[in-house]
Amino acid sequence: MQDHKGRLTKDGIRIYETSEFEGMQAAGHLAARILDEVADLVEPGVTTGALDAFINQRVTELGSVSATIGYRGYQHASCISVNHVVCHGIPGDKVIKDGDILNIDVTVILDGWFGDTSRMYVAGTLSRKAERLIQVTHDALMLGIEQVKPGNTFGDIGFAIQQFVEAQRMSVVRDFCGHGIGQVFHSPPNVLHYGRKGSGAMLEEGMIFTIEPMVNLGRPETKVLADDWTAVTRDKSLSAQFEHSVGVTADGCEIFTLSPADRFHPTWR
């Protein structure tokens, strides 16, 4: 199935044919559609396990395969990260309560292409500080995406995100990053959400990767719990994340995981 038409750069980054972007469009659209659909279920009283069960069912019904089930021993179709959980929250018995904010992250495989996206949801009442955190994290992702064009570097993406977030007196998580994607789940490069202008590999048409900044209201440090997956803020401060899968085009980029119903941001409808 994998035909490896494209070449690798000296940094080991695969260059896809732009004709291959169709595969990413379909996979990205499907992942984003599932995140649209699950929004109606997020309310106080629902368990994270019930949200994951719905996602798992839709992944199958829509003809795709979960990329996360079986990935390094992970057993669920989504990661659900509530409040001070930074990423890789494991769905289960946890009951969502009024005022909780959560990130849901889904990766599907469709015809061999990986669509990876995550976004924030709110259960019930949204506090002012959570609202600000979500807005800043969303805008940081979009500012990073604005830097995606041939000739810019990966450092330009990280710089744009870090500079904006820190100007709002919030912090960028360093311990997790975006990644190359396409016909594999995680491949070079590591897409850092901090950095210096002009540093890192040069962006070229045909590269496909994720940008997925995690932003904390407090300090950037994280720790992984004893389950070996759940990452939390060390200072217990609230954390948020948004993720898109993007491809570099001749003059900019294409976002593969746009929300079909325009529900990417929790206060949009």
Q: How far is the CB of 224 from Co ion (least distance, A)?
A: 17
Of 100 and 116, the one with the shorter C-beta distance to ligand MF3 is 116
Q: How far is CA 41 from CA 52, 139, 175, 186, 190, in A?
A: 11, 25, 30, 29, 33
Q: Among 56, 91, 243, 246, which residue interacts with ligand MF3 (rule: CB under 6 A)?
A: 243
**Rounded-to-integer distance, Cα 8 and Cα 15, Å:** 6
Give which of Co ion, ligand MF3, none residue 71 binds (C-beta under 5 to 8 Å, depending on kind). Answer: ligand MF3
Q: Among 20, 52, 100, 105, which residue interacts with Co ion (rule: CB under 5 A)?
A: 105
* Site map (CB under 6 A) of ligand MF3, residues 203-232, x = contact: -------x-x----------------x---
How big is the site for ligand MF3, counted in residues (CB under 6 A)? 13
Q: Identify which of 208, 103, 223 has the alpha carbon closest to the alpha carbon of residue 173.
A: 223
* Site map (CB under 6 A) of ligand MF3, residues 23-62, x = contact: ----------------------------------------
Pairing of strands 85-87, 231-233: antiparallel
**Rounded-to-integer distance, Cα 60 and Cα 62, Å:** 5
Q: Among 20, 52, 116, 156, which residue interacts with Co ion (rule: CB under 5 A)?
A: 116
3-state secondary structure of 105: strand
Of 205 and 241, the one with the shorter C-beta distance to ligand MF3 is 241
**Rounded-to-integer distance, Cα 77 and Cα 192, Å:** 25
Stretch binding ligand MF3 (CB under 6 A), from 48-56, 66-74, 187-195, 219-227:
66-74
Give which of Co ion, ligand MF3, none residue 74 binds (C-beta under 5 to 8 Å, depending on kind). Answer: ligand MF3
Q: Among 36, 49, 65, 74, which residue interacts with ligand MF3 (rule: CB under 6 A)?
A: 74
* Site map (CB under 6 A) of ligand MF3, residues 83-112, x = contact: -----x----------------x-x-----
**Rounded-to-integer distance, Cα 67 and Cα 81, Å:** 18
Q: How far is CA 134 from CA 91, 119, 266, in A?
A: 21, 9, 9
Angle between helical axes of 128-146 and 154-167 (0-180°, round to 10): 160
Q: Among 79, 86, 101, 160, which residue interacts with ligand MF3 (rule: CB under 6 A)?
A: 79
Whether the ω angle into residue 44 lies within 30 degrees of 0, i.e. cis, is no
Beta-sheet strand order (sheet of 244-248): 187-191, 178-180, 208-211, 244-248, 253-255
The encoded tokens of residue 122 equal: 């709110």
Of 43 and 142, the one with the shorter C-beta distance to Co ion is 142
Q: Among 68, 103, 153, 257, which residue interacts with ligand MF3 (rule: CB under 6 A)?
A: 68
Give residues in contact with ligand MF3 (CB under 6 A): 68, 71-72, 74, 79, 88, 105, 107, 116, 210, 212, 229, 243
Give residues in contact with Co ion (CB under 5 A): 105, 116, 118, 210, 243
